[in-house]
Amino acid sequence: MASYEPVVALMRGLDLLRSLNERGPSTVGELHQATAIAKPTIVRMLETLVHAGYVDVSAIERRYQVTARVLQLSNGYELQQQLLKLARPILNHYRTKVGWPIELSVFDHDAMVILDTSREPDTFSVNRKTGSRLPVLSSALGRAYLSALSDEQLSHALTTLIARERDESLGPVRREDVIDLIQSCRTRGYGYADRTLASNACAIAAAIRMNGKPIGSVNIASHVAAMPLNVLEANHGKTVQSLANEISEALSQT
């Protein structure tokens, strides 16, 4: 028997989050029908969850959906662990084939989080390790993820990301320039970055999808003195696409 009476507000909040996770993008009215929670209460709960980073909302239709941060609430099942287990054999094969560092990442609210990397310490003057958080707009990994979003999802994501990276002084960030860049990535079929996070490195990256939705990305990076961006693209543009597709296919079979 519990020592205390349950906190009703918390239980309702968990019911709302569970319903949103099961239903996918939903309006306040749809969540009201599914949970019978009063609409004003739902709005307050959703705004709290948005503030905490567990929920996102589309600017046009006002549909709410969970973010990757809800994965942190899971003990028995970890999408990241599943992704790592399935991806590592594929990553190791391509690393042997390509000979350049390859990194696997997932999107987490406002950053790309490195799950697996073959970069040695100090490679390209950037010490990336598992758990490192990279800026989305400035990295090939982030640009690849963004390029796989729908136009509506991209528009909403940029509102948060542009403000964040501007606040952190990561260089001038104009919405029009970012949109043009993402369109260029879509045309190529992969994201790219040339000496944005390190003065001597470039990278190309492709999105990883689960159930048709982007959840992260994988890259191939090189030293610009040995392989500048145009050569990296010519040599491995199709390679990074194939790598991402193989990982996505492995996820779809689970």
Start-to-end CA span in the chain (Å): 38
- Residue 18: CATH number of its domain: 1.10.10.10
- Residue 172: CATH number of its domain: 3.30.450.40
Same-domain pairing of 35 and 117: no
**CA dist., res. 81 & res. 21, Å (int):** 19
Percent of the chain with pLDDT over 70: 89
Same-domain pairing of 49 and 147: no
Same-domain pairing of 111 and 16: no
**CA dist., res. 142 & res. 149, Å (int):** 11
> Which of 20, 44, 66 is a domain's end point?
66
Q: What is the pLDDT of residue 162?
A: 86
Q: Is residue 16 part of a domain?
A: yes
Same-domain pairing of 15 and 106: no
Q: Measured in whole angstroms, how far is the alpha carbon of residue 135 from the centre of its chain?
A: 11
Same-domain pairing of 239 and 126: yes
Domain assignment of residue 239, given as a range: 79-252
**What pLDDT, in 10s, does the model give residues 185-201?**
999 999 999 998 888 99
Same-domain pairing of 14 and 109: no
Q: What is the pLDDT of residue 1?
A: 37
Q: Are 231 and 244 in contact (CB under 8 A)?
A: no
* Whether this model's pTM surpasses 0.85: no
User: Residue 45: pLDDT above 50?
Assistant: yes
- Among 128, 129, 115, 69, which residue's Cα sits nearest to residue 208? 115
**CA dist., res. 112 & res. 84, Å (int):** 15
Q: What is the pLDDT of residue 69?
A: 78
Same-domain pairing of 142 and 204: yes
DSSP letter at 242 equals H
Q: Are 205 and 217 in contact (CB under 8 A)?
A: yes
User: Residue 10: pLDDT above 70?
Assistant: yes
Distances (CA, A) of 196 to 53, 200, 203, 229, 233: 27, 9, 10, 12, 16
**What pLDDT, in 10s, does the model give residues 140-163?**
999 999 999 999 899 988 988 887
